[in-house]
Structure 1
């Protein structure tokens, strides 16, 4: 059963990766045509595909979906707070990629096999996540659950989006940086839709666990400790990779 499930997940990711490659190829063609003609209708017609691109990209492994779900379920965040955290994460994830190209392109690694990454920033993000995990463990042991979801969204989103970096770098090279920013904004909508869905599911799960528990305070503290441990493990594995 597990083998079948893993096989289907692999097929899904392979299909999503194929969609991303096709859309990315179309993005390059559209930006190249826009650079030559200056016709903004080309970009407007492509806008819906940018949203699809962002959603497909967010459905593939990564994008801090696991740590987002852990945090929201463990802290028992309400739906509104969960959505704010997810949207903050999406905005940071995409926005950081845009800012890197605009003002800090030299920090992006161009080594073979690492093009489109910012290793220093990624390590900072993972370290902060690990520290957040230790903080949650401490809060759980003390019985205090201060959420600060938006700040968590910023920390979890500090890993730049490699495909946005590629698109922004390509657009800048063609002299149409503004068009690249427009694409990034639309793809962020797709990423936010996926992360928002994950956030709502995690919020409902966490609050249902608390609602069904007789010792709600004890369960809440346990969830915080487990969430903290999960974040520490995820951060440690990412830093050691």
Structure 2
């Protein structure tokens, strides 16, 4: 997470501060993986355009399966590239104890909200307001302001909870030990209330991440809406969202696995409790800073219509 934060911050705050080629600000081997993913995205984009053109010309639904498959694969490889969503979700699971099911659910929520925001934005701006494609793309991009603001607020709330001893950064399970960041709990209900609060914060943050629509989905929807292929556009966008969810879930679960390995090595000593608190605080502060930097950058330089 921290390796990707400086490049994301610089690109947000400085006009033209992003890399000429997407992903070149990443360290190896992430740089090579991102380049490979972008090359596949270009191929899949060409396949999508070709199949959509065939469907438009023939009026046949035979290319629909190829369109949906290409959209799904586009989502998988699109999510490999740089993006604040993976940084936020990965950072959460790298520094806070959470359930695997919550990781899968958060990834799906983020991806489906992103797909839904693209569908809603294009439907509203194109269908109801009849705006030009460029205006639609620019208008949808402003949704990222809401996304960045919500991320910053959630990160700040989690920082406050950690500092006041109300946010553990790990799941207690059924056994409690002295020295853990939240202290010893005498009441089972308190543990469940804490777990519910952490889960709700995670899901809210996932939704905030997805509030920013993907430019690829918007372009597909614009073409489909303009040519009367609304249903296939919606299906392709949802397939793209599922593809994004697969990649984000893999990254999030990898971070969660690393977190558990570190915690297992630390044990349950007083020092381990302080280290857990430090990890939780570092994660929430990083999320807060990232949200603020992206928000300020979008306000100063204008939003960027990317997903």
Give your verdict on TM over 0.5. yes
C-alpha RMSD over aligned residues: 2.5
For 1:207-218, list aligned pairs within 5 A: 207-213=260-266, 214-215=269-270, 216-218=272-274
Looking at structure 2, the residues matched to 233 and 217 of structure 1 have their Cα atoms a distance apart, in angstroms, of 24
Alignment partner, residue 90 of structure 1:
111
1:101–1:119 distance in 2 versus 1, CA, 3 Å: closer
Cα deviation per residue 1:161-197 (whole Å; 9 max; x = unaligned)? 1100110011111110111111112222211110110
CA shift at 1:103, angstroms? 2.0
Contact 2:91–2:283 (Cα < 8 Å) also in 1: yes
Alignment partner, residue 162 of structure 2:
140
Q: What are the ranges of 5 or more consecutive residues in structure 1 without an aligned counterpart?
A: none
Kindly indicate whether residue 254 of structure 2 is the aligned counterpart of residue 201 of structure 1.
yes
Contact 2:52–2:67 (Cα < 8 Å) also in 1: no
Q: What is the count of residue pairs matched by the alignment? A: 236
Match for residue 16 of structure 1 among 19, 28, 37: 37
Looking at structure 2, the residues matched to 234 and 58 of structure 1 have their Cα atoms a distance apart, in angstroms, of 18
Looking at structure 2, the residues matched to 207 and 139 of structure 1 have their Cα atoms a distance apart, in angstroms, of 21
Looking at structure 1, the residues matched to 28 and 97 of structure 2 have their Cα atoms a distance apart, in angstroms, of 33
Which deviates further from its counterpart, 134-143 or 47-56? 47-56
Instruction: Point out the structure with the larger helix share.
Output: 1
Which deviates further from its counterpart, 101-110 or 191-200? 101-110
CA shift at 1:75, angstroms? 2.4
Larger radius of gyration: 2
1:109–1:224 distance in 2 versus 1, CA, 3 Å: farther
For 1:141-160, list aligned pairs within 5 A: 141-145=163-167, 146-147=197-198, 148=200, 149-160=202-213
Alignment partner, residue 281 of structure 2:
225
Query: What secondary structure sits across from 1:110 in the alignment?
Result: helix
1:162–1:206 distance in 2 versus 1, CA, 3 Å: same
Kindly indicate whether residue 58 of structure 2 is the aligned counterpart of residue 37 of structure 1.
yes
Cα deviation per residue 1:33-70 (whole Å; 9 max; x = unaligned)? 21222211211134322221111111111151011111
Alignment partner, residue 61 of structure 1:
82
1:8–1:73 distance in 2 versus 1, CA, 3 Å: closer
1:8–1:225 distance in 2 versus 1, CA, 3 Å: closer
Q: How does the TM-score come out when normalised to structure 1?
A: 0.87
Q: How does the TM-score come out when normalised to structure 2?
A: 0.70
Looking at structure 2, the residues matched to 66 and 157 of structure 1 have their Cα atoms a distance apart, in angstroms, of 13
